[in-house]
Every structure is written in C-alpha cells, then in structure tokens.
C-alpha cells in the first residue's frame, strides 16, 4: 500500500514536470541496443541527446526494459524503487533498536513520508534512476549477507555503476579482507561477462569511455548539479588549473574519510560505517549528481534516531537542518535554471554546494565525536587505575 502511494506521488510529480524518466529512457535504449547488436555507446537519446554512460554489463541487465512499452517500464521501475526505499528504511529502523514489528512498521511509514520529498529521492524517481535499488543491494549485502559471500553483491553493483568500488579500500581498512576480495571478484565477473557477450562495447568502455566525463555532463547548466569536490572546483571563479588541487583534495578527503568511516563502523556499527564510506565516494567522484546522494537516507535516519536516543537538542536541530538541505536547494536551483536562467550565478554554486559541505561536515563531526569518545574512555580507564 505504501509502495502504491509512493508510486502515485512520483507519477503525479511527473505530470507536473512533463520531461521525466530521461535516465530510464537511456537505460531502455541501452538494453534495446544490446538486443539489436548495435553499439550502446553511439546512442543519442531524447532531445538532450543523452548517451549511455554505464558498463556493458549494466546494458545487458536493462534488456528487459526494452521488451515492454515505456509506460509499463515507468510503472514497474517506480514501483520497484519505492519498494526498495521502504525496505532500506525498514532495515535502518530495525538497526535502531525498534524491534516490535508493528512499531517498526509505523516508524517505517513515517520515515518514508519524511524522506520521499527530498530532492535526491524525488529526482531518482523522476529521472528513473537506479540509485535507490543499488543502495538497497549494498546495505543488504554488507549488513545482512552471509559472511562467506559478503561483498559479492556490492561488487556486482560496482559492475553497474563504478562508485561502489569505494567499499574495497574501506573493507581492507576494517580488516575484512575476504569481503574486499568478494567485492573485487563480483566486479571482475561483470567485466568478464561483458567482454564475453559484448566484446566491442567492452573494449570501448574500458578503453576510456568510462572516464569521459563529457559524456555525463551534456549541458553547461548541469554543472551546477555536480555535487562533488570536482564539481565545486569547476564552478569557482577565475581561470586556474583545478586538476592538481582536485587530486590533492581527493587524496586528503579519500584517505581521511575512509579512516573515519572505518572508525565509525567500529564505534557505531556497520550501517553507519558504510554510510560514511559512501559519502567519501560521493565527494571524491568526478561527477556526483543530486540523485547519487540517496545515501542521505541512512545518514538522516541514523542521526535522527541517535538524536532522539541521547535527547540532544542541538543534534535534533542539526537533523532538521540537514533535512532542509536535502529538500530545498535542489528545487530552488532547478526552478532558477528553468524560469530565470539569467539569474544563475555564484549563489547557485553555494546553494547546491551545500551537499558537498554537508558531506565534509559529516566526516569532520564524526571524527571529532569519535575522538572525544575515545578520549573520555581513556580518561575513565586511567582514572580507574
């Protein structure tokens, strides 16, 4: 029932904004190219001339979409995405000590209602993106999967969209070497399957197409929505070489962030750790669109329950502020670019840059909080001695 209500909400949103499902259309055309034995990387879809930017393995997975009408594909995709959202939240709520089934169901419903209008979530539904489905796959794999196979689904997810590869160094730092190996094997399996079934497309993709950001950033105004460190640097005024600074910041944020994520997993649990790790991946990625930031879901829910548990007013205010960050700036930026494009400027950079600043702030706050917690424990232990 919740899934149907969410699907209707997303469909109503699409009626208001008649240009939705653009990414789902690209997925569908990629699947059709596989069936027709044509190059998936020569596609130019829709009035924006969008190109297929995922792996050949992903294109193979999208072939069922090409077998049904676009309207059917939209209905199925939205329903699956909403169900995935509900399951993710059900899992997170269960990890916050809400054990009673009816109470857990009520909490899940309330959280879904609060989360659904957030810009990363709604744009995922509106564009027909795969982000929530991958979020669910990774969360289930790394928190509920059998120890023997843990990591394999995350590796397959990386074979669809490369960003989950960030979990390999995270798992290595946390000394879960088998899980890191399974991620690598799952990913390698998708690459091998791609070369076996689509050799020409695989040579194109792994030969350099996967790193061509020009295929992703197709219009000048879309740069405002690139919510990564690189996206922020590219919008800074002046003419100066951004690549060296970006690489230096990636090394700093990547190394420090992964250490914080591992520390978080040790102190606050696996779900908090992988959420912090995913934020690191979003920050250092060359391109992170708002819909990639669906990892705000576990971030907000985990923090909200912690704020309630410790009854800290400042933390409750922080959760509310973070919720507004993921709600309003995206819609304001979109409205400005659609209605008043001449007003687009540095203020939009700062507005949408709130995602990047929130991610960096989250890692910093976690580091400070965990550091203080360790210091108090050491002080208490030395006092006992």
The domain spans of the chain are 2-376
Predicted confidence (pLDDT) at residue 311 exceeds the cutoff of 70:
yes
Q: What is the DSSP letter of 14?
A: H
Q: How confident is the model at residue 45 (pLDDT cuts 50, 70, 90)?
A: confident
Give me the count of residues in the chain.
385
User: What secondary structure does DSSP assign to 333-369, as a single string?
Assistant: HHHHHHH-GGG-SHHHHHHHTHHHHHHHHHHHHHHHH
CA–CA distance from 85 to each of 36, 142, 174 (Å)?
33, 17, 27
Output 382 or 283, whichever has higher pLDDT: 283
The half-sphere exposure of 110 on its side-chain side, counting CA atoms within 13 A, is: 10
**Tokens found for residue 29:** 């055309």
Q: How confident is the model at residue 101 (pLDDT cuts 50, 70, 90)?
A: confident
Number of C-beta neighbours around residue 13 at 10 A: 16
Candidates 24, 219, 228; CA nearest to 126 is 24
**Tokens found for residue 169:** 């160094």
Q: How much is the average pLDDT of 318-340? A: 85
Asked whether 228 and 288 are in contact (CB, 8 A), the reply is yes
Candidates 159, 152, 217; CA nearest to 193 is 159
**Tokens found for residue 136:** 């669910």
Give the best-scoring range by mean pLDDT among 72-76, 142-146, 195-199, 227-231.
195-199
Q: Give pLDDT, residue 219.
A: 59
Q: Give pLDDT, residue 15.
A: 44
Q: How confident is the model at residue 346 (pLDDT cuts 50, 70, 90)?
A: low
Residues 175, 178, 184, 187: is their CA dihedral positive or negative?
A: negative
Among 37-41, 95-99, 107-111, 319-323, the range scoring the smallest mean pLDDT is 95-99
Q: How confident is the model at residue 377 (pLDDT cuts 50, 70, 90)?
A: confident
Predicted confidence (pLDDT) at residue 145 exceeds the cutoff of 70:
yes
Q: How much is the average pLDDT of 306-313? A: 88
Q: How much is the average pLDDT of 330-347? A: 72
Q: Give pLDDT, residue 212.
A: 72
Average pLDDT in the chain: 87
Predicted confidence (pLDDT) at residue 5 exceeds the cutoff of 60:
no
- Cα 111 to Cα 133: distance, rounded to the nearest angstrom: 18
Q: How confident is the model at residue 17 (pLDDT cuts 50, 70, 90)?
A: very low
Predicted confidence (pLDDT) at residue 382 exceeds the cutoff of 80:
no
Output 8 or 94, whichever has higher pLDDT: 94
Q: How confident is the model at residue 222 (pLDDT cuts 50, 70, 90)?
A: low
Q: Give pLDDT, residue 341.
A: 66
Among 213-222, 231-240, 255-264, the range scoring the smallest mean pLDDT is 213-222
- Cα 244 to Cα 247: distance, rounded to the nearest angstrom: 5
């Amino acid at each position: 029932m919740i899934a149907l209500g969410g699907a209707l909400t997303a469909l109503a949103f699409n009626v208001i904004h008649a240009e939705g499902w653009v990414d789902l259309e690209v997925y569908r055309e990629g699947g059709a190219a596989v069936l027709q034995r044509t190059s998936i990387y020569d596609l130019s879809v829709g009035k924006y001339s969008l190109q297929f930017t995922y792996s050949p393995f992903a294109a193979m997975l999208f072939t069922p979409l090409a077998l049904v009408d676009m309207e059917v594909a939209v209905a199925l995709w939205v329903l699956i995405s909403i169900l995935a959202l509900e399951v993710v939240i059900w899992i997170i709520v269960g990890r916050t000590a809400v054990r009673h089934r009816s109470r857990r169901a009520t909490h899940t419903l309330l959280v879904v209602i609060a989360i659904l209008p957030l810009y990363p979530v709604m744009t995922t539904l509106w564009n027909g993106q795969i982000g929530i489905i991958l979020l669910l796959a990774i969360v289930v794999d790394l928190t509920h999967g059998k120890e023997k196979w843990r990591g394999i689904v995350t590796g397959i997810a990386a074979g669809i969209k490369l960003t989950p590869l960030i979990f390999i160094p995270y798992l290595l730092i946390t000394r879960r070497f088998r899980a890191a190996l399974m991620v690598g094997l799952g990913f390698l399996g998708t690459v091998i399957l791609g070369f076996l079934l689509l050799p020409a497309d695989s040579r194109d993709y792994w030969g350099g197409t996967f790193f061509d950001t020009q295929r992703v950033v197709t219009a000048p105004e879309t740069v405002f929505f690139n919510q990564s460190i690189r996206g922020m640097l590219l919008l800074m005024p002046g003419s100066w070489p951004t690549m060296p600074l970006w690489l230096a910041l990636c090394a700093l944020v990547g190394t420090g962030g992964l250490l914080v994520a591992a520390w978080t997993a040790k102190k606050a649990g696996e779900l908090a750790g992988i959420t912090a790790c995913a934020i690191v991946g979003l920050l250092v990625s060359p391109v992170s669109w708002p819909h990639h930031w669906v990892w705000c879901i576990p971030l907000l829910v985990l923090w909200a329950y912690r704020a309630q548990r410790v009854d800290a007013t400042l933390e409750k205010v922080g959760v509310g502020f973070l919720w507004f960050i993921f709600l309003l700036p995206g819609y304001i930026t979109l409205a400005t670019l659609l209605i008043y494009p001449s007003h687009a400027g540095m203020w939009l950079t700062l507005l949408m840059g709130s995602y990047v600043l929130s991610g960096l702030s989250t890692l910093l706050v976690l580091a400070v909080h965990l550091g203080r917690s360790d210091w108090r424990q050491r002080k208490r232990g030395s006092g006992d001695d």
